[in-house]
Amino acid sequence: MTGSLVIAGLGPGSETMITPEVAAALDEATDVIGYIPYVSRIPPREGLRLHPSDNRVELERAAHALDLAAKGNRVVVVSSGDPGVFAMASAVFEAVEHGPAFWRDLDIRVLPGITAMLAAAAAAGAPLGHDFCAINLSDNLKPFDLVLKRVRLALEADFAMAFYNPRSVSRPHQFATVLDLLQGQAEPERLMIFARAVSAPDQDIRVVPLREALPDMADMRTLVIVGSSATRQVGRFVYTPRRA
């Protein structure tokens, strides 16, 4: 089989945050597949076919990419941020696991990207400077009770936390529930960072104590970071000391 499949991260939004490795893969691609807003970031050119699709068809998208690669195409599946963080890399390998055996012999590579979590942390300072975890607050692929359990356990372990997909039109109340949990179990002065449109021209970084955090401070373009009990603010910067 002469085709290939690259699963690539486009970073959080700014074109300057696309790695040279990913840019080279896109230059060589015959086909780019991904969620509509991510594919729209790829400039059209002769010899390149763009395959945008809806948000909740990850396995179908993965199977389409694998099928094209098996036919000899140079395929790039794009995600925002890093493709291995709540994104398409896992979906592709799930499709490989349940698909034809010959898919396992394809030339498949995962190219890392800059996550929204890391870009937001850098914009704020160094809030992830010690132990931390990332939690996807969406319940599309897991029960919301499990989301709350993981938040509780992360609080118990005193991790800094990065929340992906905090609040959407279809689930406007879930972040409020998470915020109630945080405000009921953590100290009111614990720092929270609301990083909206990270790396885009309209980027907005807001730092508030937990007691002042409100549900409508977050939307689907927002990455939320909750500091640990040791996280502190120095001037306009937020950081977590490296020592426990």
Q: What is the pLDDT of residues 66-84, one digit of tens each?
A: 999 999 999 999 999 999 9
| Residues facing residue 206 across a β-bridge | 194
Residue 1: the pLDDT is 60
Q: What is the mean pLDDT of the chain?
A: 94
Per the listing, tokens 């306009």 go with: 236
Mean pLDDT, residues 83-101 taken together: 96
- Count, in order, helices (H) and strands (E) of the chain: 7, 13
Q: How sure is the predictor about 93, in pLDDT bands with cuts at 50, 70 and 90? A: very high
Euclidean distance between CA atoms 15 and 8, whole angstroms: 14
Instruction: Give the pLDDT score at 220.
Output: 85
3-state secondary structure of 31: strand
| Strand-pair partners of 224 | 163, 194
> 46: which residues sit within 8 A by CB, 6+ positions away?
none
pLDDT in tens, 23-82: 999 999 999 999 999 999 999 999 999 999 987 899 999 999 999 999 999 999 999 999
Q: Alpha carbon of 216 to those of 17, 70, 119, 122, 212: distances in Å?
A: 28, 46, 22, 23, 12
Q: Is the pTM of this model over 0.85?
A: yes
